[in-house]
């Protein structure tokens, strides 16, 4: 049974157990997208543009979008898509399989033919989520030679390149170390907005990051937030660290470097929750406990509350700013 949550502060809901744990927290680790940075006008559109461009390059036609930005939340709700590059690849694979099976090359017509993206992602959620599982669901009905034909058109490296170009544009060399070949304008990263500022970070805590962003993307976010001096580079776990969510190793590394009494991990999607769940399941006795704080309004959209509640999350906040204000107020009260 899920623990009952009560409103414990403006925009913050917690169980009695979570309140008690939060009172001893001294390390706060953040996911970035949807937590520290509003990415609703960047990454979903990156996925939309990259998938569309790739599908056109392999011969599909039409100007109707293969996936709309709002539809990318369906994949996030299914779980396993912390990487937006993986999500773009997933959309492409769906269309390549449908085009092969239906013998149709027009994007709008493929959108109309069942199963639609919503049905596919709901089935994927029941199967466990993620790109590997999606590939299995889509490939298993095909003969080996048919699957080989489809996968031969599915160029993951090219999809990743397009994602990087649409995200960083002419700044791709600085952000990702790649030269743009297709898109050279302002990157969609310029649409991002800060959700937290330095003034929102209460004293008395150590702050870290565990994000699926590459280091260049992370530095772009910290520049936007004005927080470059707040986050010690040694306490930033990014994709360049060689660790990918939902692997809990990122939290283990931070816990060993800081040695806190308790760490709070603030994330907005199911992969973040799974990071914490796996950390707690496999936690060594010398590592501190971890409390997951689900941030609402991020990648899973309006379903976030129910998705987190269904998994027994004991601390939810409408924003990282609300969470920080609550934690800071409790710490100040204890100090007084």
pLDDT means per 10 residues, the chain with 336 residues, are 84 96 96 96 97 98 97 94 96 98 97 97 96 97 96 98 97 95 96 95 96 94 91 96 95 97 96 96 94 90 89 97 96 68
Give the model's pLDDT for residue 332. Answer: 77
Q: Which residue has the tokens 């501190």?
A: 288
Measure the CA–CA gap between 132 and 52, rounded to whole angstroms.
21
| The Cα angle at residue 271 between residues 315 and 28, in degrees rounded to 5 | 50
Q: Are strands 206-210 and 27-30 parallel, antiparallel or unpaired?
A: parallel
Q: Which of 3, 11, 74 is nearest to 323 (CA)?
A: 11
Q: How many whole angstroms separate alpha carbon 258 and alpha carbon 288?
A: 10
Q: At what angle do helices 117-127 and 131-139 cross, to 10 degrees?
A: 110
Gap between the Cα atoms of 209 and 237, Å rounded: 6
Among 130, 169, 208, which residue's Cα sits nearest to residue 42?
169
Q: What pLDDT is stored for residue 76 in this prediction?
A: 92
8 A C-beta contact, residue 8 and residue 326: yes
Nearest to 23 by CA among 3, 36, 9: 9
DSSP structure string for 266-335: EESSHHHHHHHHHHHHT--TTSPPEEEEEETTSTTGGGHHHHHHHTT--EEES-HHHHHHHHHHHHHHHH
Domain ranges of the chain: 6-39+192-335, 43-189
Which residue in this structure is represented by tokens 């190793």?
A: 249
Looking at residue 1, its pLDDT comes to 41
Do 288 and 52 contact (CB within 8 A), yes or no? no
Phi, psi of 290 (to 5 degrees): -135, 135
- For 6-39+192-335, CATH number? 3.40.50.1000
pTM here is: 0.92
Sheet strands (E) in the chain: 6-9, 12-14, 27-30, 37-38, 193-194, 206-210, 236-237, 263-267, 290-295, 315-317
Question: How many other β-carbons are positioned within 10 Å of the β-carbon of residue 335?
Answer: 8
Residue 56 contacts residue 286 (beta carbons within 8 Å)? no
Task: Specify the pLDDT at position 2.
Answer: 58
Give me the pLDDT at residue 302, please.
83
Q: How far is CA 301 from the centre of its chain?
A: 12
Whether the CB-CB separation of 277 and 42 falls below 8 Å is answered with no
Q: How many CA atoms lie within 13 A of 300 on its CB side?
A: 22
Q: How many CB atoms lie within 10 A of CB 116?
A: 16
């Amino acid at each position: 049974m899920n623990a009952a949550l009560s409103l414990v502060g403006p925009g913050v809901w917690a169980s009695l157990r979570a309140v008690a744990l939060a009172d001893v927290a001294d390390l706060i680790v953040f996911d970035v997208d949807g937590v520290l940075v509003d990415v609703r006008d960047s990454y979903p559109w990156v996925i939309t543009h990259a998938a569309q461009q790739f599908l056109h390059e392999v011969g599909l036609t039409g100007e109707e979008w293969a996936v709309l930005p709002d539809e990318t939340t369906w994949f996030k709700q299914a779980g396993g898509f912390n990487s937006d590059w993986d999500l773009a690849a997933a959309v492409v694979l769906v269309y390549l399989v449908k085009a092969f099976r239906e013998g149709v090359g027009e994007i709008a017509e493929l959108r109309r033919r069942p199963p639609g993206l919503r049905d596919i992602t709901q089935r994927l959620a029941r199967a466990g989520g993620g790109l590997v599982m999606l590939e299995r669901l889509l490939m298993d009905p095909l003969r080996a030679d048919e699957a080989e034909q489809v996968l031969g058109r599915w160029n993951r490296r090219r999809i990743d390149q397009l994602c990087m170009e649409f995200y960083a544009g002419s700044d791709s060399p600085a952000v990702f170390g790649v030269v743009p070949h297709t898109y050279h304008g302002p990157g969609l990263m310029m649409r991002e907005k800060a959700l937290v500022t330095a003034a929102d970070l209460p004293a008395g805590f150590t702050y870290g990051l565990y994000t699926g962003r590459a280091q260049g993307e992370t530095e772009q976010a910290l520049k936007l937030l004005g927080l470059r001096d707040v986050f010690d580079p040694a306490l930033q776990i990014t994709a360049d660290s060689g660790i990918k969510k939902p692997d809990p190793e990122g939290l283990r590394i931070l816990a060993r470097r800081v040695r806190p009494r308790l760490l709070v991990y603030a994330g907005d999607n199911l992969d973040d929750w799974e990071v914490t769940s796996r950390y707690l399941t496999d936690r060594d006795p010398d590592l501190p406990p971890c409390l997951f704080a689900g941030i609402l309004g991020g990648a899973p959209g309006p379903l976030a509350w129910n998705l987190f509640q269904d998994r027994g999350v004991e601390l939810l906040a409408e924003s990282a700013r609300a969470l920080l204000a609550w934690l800071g107020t409790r710490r100040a009260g204890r100090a007084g």
